């Protein structure tokens, strides 16, 4: 939905540009205009371009899940193209921003409810422990090596998903990432510190220990995060820095 504002401004701009080209039919030019207009533009099928613009707008609105009132949508497009719009560009921007803010708040609350239900159900499963912070974790393979603190340097394999199973990110196949737990989201730092080297398991991280109400690109606001992790090694600072340099 974050692209809706930009698309609204683009649609308005195109409508105004097309209005300057005529009534949407093939361009008609005076002799003087023809001398200054490339033949490719003079002969352009503006009816087809207009249809393509309308279809693109329809596809976009459908994909974004906006409730479409076709009559009002076409009226707004037509009025803007004919210079009769009751809203200027600033008015349009304000209205789109107002909708986007409400839509973002609604989705964030929906994510929070869904995450709470998920965490409550996971907490009832065998082997799942709820930390005092609210983090849930499960150790599937007990490690036998060193155990990090929540500010250690570590080498970790992971897969990140949402509660619906959608995969968001992962370490490269067979290639763990190097991480300074001090710089990671709080839930990850707390969770990884529950494992010993060689350990594998799951982390279920509530949004207040992750990216909160605002989320981040690709991660919705108030999203509960699910990590499958494998702690490869607890690193010294020197090992961590050498690893970052590829040494």
Three-state DSSP at 222 gives coil
Assign 30 a pLDDT band (cuts: 50, 70, 90). Answer: very low
**How many domains is the chain built from?**
2
Same domain, 71 and 177: no
**Where among 32, 67, 86 does a domain terminate?**
86
Strand partners, 155: 178, 233
Q: Shortest CA distance to 10 belongs to which of 72, 115, 89, 75?
A: 89
Residue whose token pair is 């499963």: 125
More confident residue, 82 or 155: 155
Same domain, 135 and 233: yes
DSSP single-letter state for residue 182: G
Give domain status of residue 92, yes or no: no
Last residue of a domain, one of 60, 86, 112: 86
Say if 115 falls within a structural domain.
no
Residue 109 covered by a domain = no
Encode pLDDT of 186-202 as tens digits: 999 999 999 999 999 99
Residue-wise pLDDT tens digits, 132-191 = 999 999 999 999 999 999 999 999 999 999 999 999 999 976 689 999 999 999 999 999
Domain final position from 86, 105, 137:
86
- To which residue do tokens 């080498």 refer? 155
Residue 105 lies in a domain: no
Asked whether 222 and 144 are in contact (CB, 8 A), the reply is: no
Question: Residue 161 maps to which CATH number?
Answer: 3.10.50.40
Domain that holds residue 24: 4-86
Instruction: State the residue for tokens 């921003």.
Output: 97
């Amino acid at each position: 939905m974050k692209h809706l504002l930009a698309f609204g401004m683009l649609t308005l701009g195109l409508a105004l540009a097309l209005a300057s080209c005529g009534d949407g039919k093939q361009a008609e030019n005076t002799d003087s205009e023809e001398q200054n207009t490339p033949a490719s533009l003079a002969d352009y099928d503006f009816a087809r371009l207009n249809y393509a613009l309308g279809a693109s707008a329809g596809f976009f609105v459908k994909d974004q899940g906006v409730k479409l009132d076709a009559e009002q949508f076409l009226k707004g497009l037509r009025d803007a193209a004919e210079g009769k719009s009751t809203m200027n560009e600033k008015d349009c921007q304000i209205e789109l921003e107002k909708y986007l803010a409400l839509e973002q708040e609604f989705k964030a609350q929906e994510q929070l409810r869904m995450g709470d239900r998920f965490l409550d159900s996971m907490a009832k499963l065998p082997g799942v422990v709820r930390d005092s912070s609210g983090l849930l974790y499960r150790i599937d393979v007990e490690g036998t090596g060193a155990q990090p603190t929540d500010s250690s340097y570590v080498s970790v394999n992971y897969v990140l998903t949402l509660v619906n199973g959608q995969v968001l990110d992962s370490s490269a196949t067979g290639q763990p990432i190097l991480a300074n737990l001090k710089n990671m989201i709080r839930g990850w730092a707390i969770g990884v510190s529950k494992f010993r080297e060689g350990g594998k398991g799951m982390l279920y991280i509530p949004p207040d220990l992750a990216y909160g109400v605002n989320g981040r690109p690709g991660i919705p606001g108030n999203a509960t995060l699910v990590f499958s992790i494998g702690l490869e090694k607890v690193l010294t600072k020197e090992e961590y820095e050498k690893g970052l340099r590829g040494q």
